[in-house]
Amino acid sequence: MAARQLDSSELIPARRDWPRLDVQSREPRTVLLPTVTTVVDGDGVTLVTISRRDCPAPPDTGRHDTSTVVAIDGDVDGDTGCLLRSVLEEALSERDLVYCDLGRAGYFGAAGANALFAAQRHARARGRTLVLRGVHGIAEMVLAVTGLDGIAVLRDGP
């Protein structure tokens, strides 16, 4: 696959202070994130791209509404984990069923596990469902070690 030159308007510098829910504040805060977010380091190297798309719920779920797929392409680490958390929590606030596709995730460390744990807690508190798909390699090991392998994992899907 040929590399595509990114326009500077598409780039977001990696930061540890991505928007997240402020549990100390009594004021609700909404952060609307774009459909596709690309995080780059100081040298312009892409760390991760996180995208969202809506799709019909699969027939085997018995649901007739729309679900959301959040796809990760790249590394989920301390610089990008809070962005994943924000995107998943926003999607779970809007939809009853959200898929997190890890099929193209490279590195997936503790920050990724923390993001999934927070998103799963967010989903349960709202009666929503988070389903993982494309779990492989280091992500599979991290989920097993942290006990997060109990989140529903779909082998094939939207």
All structural domains of the chain with their residue ranges = 33-154
Helices 137-146 and 110-125, packing angle to 10 deg: 60
| CA 81 to each of CA 70, 72, 75: distance values in angstroms, whole numbers, following the listed order | 13, 11, 9
Note the pLDDT of residue 64. 62
How does pLDDT run across 87-117, given as a tens digit for each residue? 999 999 999 999 999 999 999 999 999 999 9
Its CATH class, for the domain covering 33-154, is alpha beta
Q: Is the pLDDT of residue 135 over 50?
A: yes
The residue that leads in pLDDT, 134 or 59, is 134
Residue that is written with structure tokens 């090991």 in the block = 141
Whether 102 and 88 have beta carbons less than 8 Å apart is answered as no
Considering the entire predicted model, what is its pTM? Answer: 0.73
Give the per-residue pLDDT at 24: 45
- Predicted confidence at residue 3, as pLDDT, reads 45
Residues pairing with 131 in the sheet: 99
The 10s digit of each residue's pLDDT in 17-41 is 444 434 444 444 444 456 888 888 8
